[in-house]
Amino acid sequence: MTFGGTMLDPLTVAWVRDVLGEGPQVYALLLTAHAASGIGGAVLVSRIDVRLAPRLLVGWSSIAAAVALAVRYNVPSVPLALGLSLFVGLTSVASAVGVDTLVHRAVRGDYRGRVFGALGATGSLLSLLGALTAGVLAEVVGLVTMLNVASALIALAGIVVLRAFSPAAAAASAEQALASARCAPP
């Protein structure tokens, strides 16, 4: 999850123009800050990934990014937006590493390519649908409102990952699989 593409990227262009009153240079600067901090995020995550469960990387980085994005879009300031773009770049990498690690741990080797392909295709499709939906709805409910919805969806995704992949959820899933195996005909 890069926290972009679905609703944020197309709407951020309009946000920079309409809310910040800036042009393409500021948008490019925000993208550059986000991307550059992703490099730092990769180095940071490579040092902590063995100490932090992948679900925590995905969940907490998604929640942190959502809060940062909500602040960025509701407090129109170029310096603040740049600082928060740096932070969100770090969280994007942490989340992506967490997702990849979850897939590597949960999926048999001979199915990983298919799963990663399905994830990539689904992400691309949802990005297109999100951009279309967000653009249309932004005209109806407002640009900042849609950016807040996108931020809330990112937070919700983080919460879902924290709950769905919790040790308690894994134990319940294992118990259910065991019970199903016992009931299955030979």
Q: Output the pLDDT for position 20.
A: 95
**Taking the alpha carbons of 79, 83, 84, 89 in that order, is the dihedral positive or negative?**
positive
In terms of pLDDT, which residue wins out, 9 or 104? 104
Q: Output the pLDDT for position 132.
A: 83
Mean pLDDT for the chain?
Answer: 86
Q: Output the pLDDT for position 1.
A: 42
For 8-183, give the CATH class.
mainly alpha
The whole model's pTM is what?
A: 0.83
- Dump pLDDT digits (tens) for 78-133: 999 999 999 999 999 999 988 898 888 889 999 999 999 999 898 888 888 888 88
Q: Output the pLDDT for position 186.
A: 58
On the question of pLDDT at 139 being above 50, the answer is yes
Mean pLDDT over 11-20 rounds to 92
Going from N- to C-terminal start, the domains of the chain cover 8-183
- Dump pLDDT digits (tens) for 148-178: 998 999 999 999 999 988 877 666 665 665 5
- Dump pLDDT digits (tens) for 21-71: 999 999 999 999 999 999 988 888 887 756 678 889 899 999 999 999 999
Confidence of residue 2 (pLDDT cuts 50, 70, 90): very low
Task: Let me know: does 3 contact 151? Beta carbons within 8 Å.
Answer: no
Rounded CA separation 57/49 (Å): 8
Task: Let me know: does 42 contact 82? Beta carbons within 8 Å.
Answer: no
From 11, 26, 40, select the one nearest 143 (Cα to Cα): 11
Could you give the C-alpha distances from 54 to 9, 137, 146, 164, 175, in angstroms and in order? 26, 34, 29, 12, 22
